[in-house]
Amino acid sequence: MLYESTRQAKATMTSSEAILAGLAKDGGLLLPDHIPQLSAQDIEGFKNLSYRDLAQNILSLYLDDYPKEALDQACGLAYQSFTDPEVTPLRTLSSALSVLELYHGPTYAFKDVALQILPHLLVQAAKINKDDRHYLILVATSGDTGKAAMAGFADVNKTSILVFYPKDGVSQIQKLQMITQTGDNVGVAAVDGNFDDTQTGVKAIFSDSELAQALDKESIRFSSANSINWGRLVPQIVYYFSSYAKLRKTGKIKEGEAINFVVPTGNFGNILAGYLAKEMGLPVHKLICASNENNVLTDFIDSGLYDRKRPFKRTLSPSMDILISSNLERLIYLLSDRDPDLIRGYMDQLKNQGSYQLEAGHLSKLKESFWSSHCSDETTVQEIEKTFQDYDYLVDTHTAVAMNIYRKYQDKTSDNHHTVVVSTASPYKFTNAVAQAVLDEKDRQDLSEMELLERLSKASHTPVPAHLKDLDKKKIRHSRALKKEDMKAFVQDFISKD
């Protein structure tokens, strides 16, 4: 199998080269030249596999130039860091509804599922390609990605990682998680600006030719850990199969029965992995895309018009606050039967005019697989409360958006396929909003996020996650604050210290 750019359709790269490159040279995203197919029998057989073995199975279909033992080792190392023995456990709330908990990794957000394994895939890829350079990973984060990427790359040989976050753009817990990160190869800095400023700064560093030359002399290469990298997408396909296998194993669904997934969506990485699972043969009825008030994807799935010309809203589900969902490019490429000219046209229009319109044929194909809706912050908080009352089950703000969109979907369609709501973060990561929903005002008044952890634990009879408990007592290791203009100097400093 070879990999091709969505903007060129010439398959030239091996999977390990695709993972090292991150992005195609022409600015497109990388995809395999075909989607591997699984039979009903294969899928039925997944019932008897551990998460690790299933992951190895799925990964080997796509990463076919990796030695089998290398993948096995990577899966072993990655998933042993999860606190739940099942890695991504499935909780059944009713005969029609289950929740897939993706947040039992070291940083309590679903990004761990991919970022715990990406460093191993990257190191192996360098080995396969006899690439002896040191990899410097640059990350701009709105909270979850930065911490998850550091947790994955900390003390991984021949790599270092630098994370930039917007000074006032992350929660107290997210900030504490980042500034207390250990590891000799990590660096963190707060940037005076918003997430867009931070991301723009990182992109500028990536394309700085003076820096590139300096790096080359030191035999260092930049790389990225965000969800445009194929090495982040492919591990996410696994849990769609694993949740299906669990429903089969417990007899909640019949062999071959189709189910729905509801996915809280931002950059379209998670839900795209669901689409790939469906295209591989997993019986999926609908993929339901749940958005917050940044509802650009809902409009797109309704009308085919992608229009980013709208105000950016800061919401209680910040990991979904995004107006340009990068991975959509991969979906449209597949829907159009791999038409790179079309993609280049759309991406030009998006860049220059801020919008593009999908043609009718592709839109109806999109609607065969997808459904979408969105909800407000107020509804999100109400949904946390309702879910807690109805099921005695605590969800974070992102998962609450998905729960609400599922409710809307059922009202509109009366569809009763078994549905899996994909839960992307621990409720303890977004304590303010969760406390507002489930605690009386007198029990939460004037308390900090750290103080609220215990209160939430008492109310829900669930333990505070181990690494969050004493977060405010951990040593602060990264207190640098920078102006936007000084990000490059920070990178130069970091390199010269290495």
Nearer to ligand PLP, 160 or 174 (CB): 174
Rounded to whole angstroms, the Cα distance separating 124 from 419 reads 37
Nearer to ligand PLP, 105 or 340 (CB): 105
The minimum distance between CB 149 and ligand PLP, in angstroms, equals: 12
Nearer to ligand PLP, 425 or 468 (CB): 425
Amino acid symbol at 108: Y
Rounded to whole angstroms, the Cα distance separating 265 from 110 reads 12
The minimum distance between CB 263 and ligand PLP, in angstroms, equals: 7
Interacting residue ranges for ligand PLP, rule: CB under 6 A: 109-111, 144, 227, 264-270, 319-320, 398, 424-425
The minimum distance between CB 291 and ligand PLP, in angstroms, equals: 10
Q: For this structure, is 111 an active site residue?
A: yes
The 3-state secondary structure of the chain reads CCEEECCCCCCCECHHHHHHHCCCCCCCCEEECCCCCCCHHHHHHHHHCCHHHHHHHHHHHHCCCCCHHHHHHHHHHHHCCCCCCCCCCEEEEECCEEEEECCCCCCCECHHHHHCCHHHHHHHHHHHCCCCCEEEEEEECCCHHHHHHHHHHCCCCCEEEEEEEECCCCCHHHHHHHHCCCCCCEEEEEEECCHHHHHHHHHHHHCCHHHHHHHHHCCEEEEECCCCCHHHHHHHHHHHHHHHHHHHHCCCCCCCCCEEEEEECCCCHHHHHHHHHHHHCCCEEEEEEEECCCCHHHHHHHHCEEECCCCCCCCCCHHHCCCCCCCHHHHHHHHCCCCHHHHHHHHHHHHHCCEEECCHHHHHHHHHHEEEEECCHHHHHHHHHHHHHHHCCCCCHHHHHHHHHHHHHHHHHCCCCCEEEEECECHHHHHHHHHHHHCCHHHHCCCCHHHHHHHHHHHHCCCCCHHHHCHHHCCCCCCCEEEHHHHHHHHHHHHHHC
The minimum distance between CB 448 and ligand PLP, in angstroms, equals: 21
The minimum distance between CB 260 and ligand PLP, in angstroms, equals: 17
Nearer to ligand PLP, 280 or 297 (CB): 297
Nearer to ligand PLP, 8 or 194 (CB): 194
The minimum distance between CB 269 and ligand PLP, in angstroms, equals: 3
The minimum distance between CB 72 and ligand PLP, in angstroms, equals: 26
Nearer to ligand PLP, 87 or 482 (CB): 87
Catalytic residue (choose from 111, 147, 175, 278): 111
Nearer to ligand PLP, 82 or 268 (CB): 268
**Catalytic residue positions?**
111
